[in-house]
Structure 1
Amino acid sequence: MAKEDLELEDEVTVVEDEADESVEAAAEVAKTNLTKRRIIDNYLEERRLQKQLNDYDFDL
């Protein structure tokens, strides 16, 4: 029985390690997606400001 208990505990540890790795991987993906989204937002903001600058009538 003691040997079986140890085997079960080892299996639980493996599952926890895999869960930790998947959480870390998911966090890395989320971080990458957030970075990409910020780059896109900055690009769109720059385009919007460039358009406003081009449309501005400097001869007021």
Structure 2
Amino acid sequence: MSTDKEDLDVDDEVVAEDPVDEPVETAKTNLSKRRTIDNLLEERRLKKQLADYDFDL
């Protein structure tokens, strides 16, 4: 047996599997939800404008 210590090469890099796919999917989902909310708010605004409009001109 040898008493000398040997240097071990260790790879410290951790490689994630497809890190790009998940954020893109989340971004698409969030954008879709935001568009749905915007559409609902616009519909509410239009209904309120119609309700406030004086038809007896």
Q: TM-score scaled to structure 2, two decimals?
A: 0.71
The runs of 4+ residues in structure 1 deviating greater than 4 Å are none
Percent sequence identity over aligned pairs: 67
Gaps of 5+ in 2: 1-10
Higher-Rg structure is 2
Q: How many residues align structurally?
A: 46
The residue number in structure 2 matching 1:44 is 41
Gaps of 5+ in 1: 1-7
Greater share of residues in helix: 1
Q: TM-score scaled to structure 1, two decimals?
A: 0.67
* Alignment root-mean-square deviation, CA: 1.8
Which of 31, 54, 58 aligns to 2:55? It is 58
